[in-house]
Structure formats: structure tokens, C-alpha cells
């Protein structure tokens, strides 16, 4: 029948980051669901181990990255350093700085830390409503739409139009917000 590894037997995390029990619980929940969905099959355990490990891997990816990447700051940490380690550390530093002054970003960081959302949520492009909400927060922080617009060398009327949904966000405004436009593709319906 075989034995399946779970929890620390699959992957042990640095306890400093407090993730091991959460991951073990998520894996137990995953295994429970997989067993339930196979219950009516002739041999529910056939191929279960391999399928379970395949589905458990993405659960581990986020906490592993969050724990292993900062640990690589220390030269004595053993293991294979990602080639883009410097960029990742810079990204983490920039994210902390933005989170310190933007409640929505702080919330996202907490959700990722508590494994409510995957790490790639940081790369999710914003939609137009989220962009407007960010622009609104920035203007509120600056004191007014006019104050923010003048600080960043864009027309207050233009910013007002973007906020009202009358115009799209151009390069100058995206630069001021620290954003870039990305293109995505999807299948035809």
C-alpha cells in the first residue's frame, strides 16, 4: 500500500518563520480532499502518493521562498542561491517600504505571509479599478489631487479625469505611481 510523507517529512522550514504547522495542516486538508474524491474508485490509493506530492509542491513553494531567500543574506547559509538573488532581496526591501505606507499592500503582504494567497499575488497585474484606488490613496496622502499632480508634474485635470474613469492612465501617470503597463493574453470565449 505504501506510505506517504507529509508535513516536515516532505519539507522542513526554518522555525523562525513559523510556517511548518500551517503547511502540514494544508497538506492534511489536501490529502483529505483527495481521499474523499477517490473514495468511489476501484482502487482509491492507486497513484495517490505521486498525485499528492505533485499537488503538495505548490503549497510548499511560497513558504519555502519566503524563508529560504532572506536566509541567503547570510554567507554561511548553505544551498543553491537563485541567480537573481540580489533582485529578489531588492524586491523584498522595496515591498516592505511600500507596505509601510500603503495599507492595501500591507494587507497583501500579510495575506501572503499567512499563506492565504500565493506569493505570485505580488506579480498580479492591477485592473483599472485597483489603479484608480491606488491613485486615490496617493492623492489623499498628498492632501489633494492637485497637490499630488503638481508634485509629479502631471496636470490635475488629467488626474481628475483618470480618477473619474474618463481617461486611461498614460506613461507620466504610471511613472509617478511606479507602475508599468503589461500586456496579457487570454483564450477566445
Residues near ligand FAD (CB under 6 A) are: 7-9, 15, 18-22, 24
Question: For residues 19 and 62, which CB has a smaller minimum distance to ligand FAD in the complex?
Answer: 19
Question: For residues 7 and 156, which CB has a smaller minimum distance to ligand FAD in the complex?
Answer: 7
First to last CA, the chain: 44
Q: How far is Cα 60 from Cα 83, in angstroms, rounded to an integer?
A: 20
In the complex, the smallest distance separating the C-beta of residue 89 from ligand FAD, rounded to whole angstroms, is: 24
Burial readout 146-156 (b: 16 or more C-beta within 10 A, e: otherwise): eebbeeeebee
In the complex, the smallest distance separating the C-beta of residue 18 from ligand FAD, rounded to whole angstroms, is: 3
In the complex, the smallest distance separating the C-beta of residue 11 from ligand FAD, rounded to whole angstroms, is: 9
Question: For residues 18 and 93, which CB has a smaller minimum distance to ligand FAD in the complex?
Answer: 18
Answer for the pair 102, 137: CB distance below 8 angstroms, yes or no. yes
Question: For residues 8 and 84, which CB has a smaller minimum distance to ligand FAD in the complex?
Answer: 8
Q: How far is Cα 27 from Cα 59, in angstroms, rounded to an integer?
A: 8
In the complex, the smallest distance separating the C-beta of residue 51 from ligand FAD, rounded to whole angstroms, is: 20
Question: For residues 7 and 160, which CB has a smaller minimum distance to ligand FAD in the complex?
Answer: 7
Closest C-alpha among 25, 26, 29, 23 to residue 11: 23
Q: How far is Cα 166 from Cα 138, in angstroms, rounded to an integer?
A: 19
In the chain, what is the greatest distance between 2 CA atoms, to the nearest angstrom? 70
Closest C-alpha among 170, 184, 91 to residue 131: 170
In the complex, the smallest distance separating the C-beta of residue 100 from ligand FAD, rounded to whole angstroms, is: 24
Question: For residues 67 and 163, which CB has a smaller minimum distance to ligand FAD in the complex?
Answer: 67
In the complex, the smallest distance separating the C-beta of residue 99 from ligand FAD, rounded to whole angstroms, is: 21
Question: CB nearest ligand FAD: which residue?
Answer: 20
Amino acid at each position: 500500500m505504501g506510505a506517504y510523507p507529509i508535513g516536515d517529512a516532505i519539507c522542513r522550514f526554518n522555525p523562525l518563520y513559523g510556517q511548518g504547522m500551517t503547511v502540514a495542516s494544508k497538506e492534511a486538508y489536501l490529502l483529505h480532499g483527495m481521499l474523499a474524491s477517490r473514495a468511489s474508485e476501484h482502487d482509491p490509493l492507486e497513484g495517490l502518493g505521486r498525485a499528492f506530492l505533485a499537488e503538495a509542491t505548490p503549497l510548499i513553494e511560497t513558504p519555502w521562498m519566503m524563508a529560504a531567500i532572506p536566509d541567503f543574506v547570510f554567507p554561511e547559509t548553505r544551498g543553491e542561491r537563485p541567480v537573481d538573488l540580489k533582485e529578489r532581496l531588492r524586491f523584498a526591501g522595496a515591498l516592505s517600504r511600500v507596505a509601510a505606507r500603503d495599507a492595501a499592500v500591507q494587507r497583501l503582504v500579510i495575506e501572503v505571509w499567512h499563506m492565504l494567497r500565493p506569493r505570485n499575488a505580488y506579480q498580479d497585474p492591477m485592473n483599472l479599478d485597483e489603479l484608480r484606488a491606488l491613485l486615490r490613496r496617493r492623492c489623499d496622502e498628498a492632501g489633494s489631487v492637485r497637490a499630488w499632480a503638481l508634485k509629479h508634474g502631471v496636470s490635475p485635470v488629467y488626474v481628475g479625469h483618470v480618477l473619474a474613469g474618463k481617461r486611461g492612465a498614460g506613461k507620466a501617470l504610471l511613472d509617478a505611481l511606479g507602475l508599468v503597463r503589461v500586456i496579457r493574453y487570454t483564450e477566445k470565449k
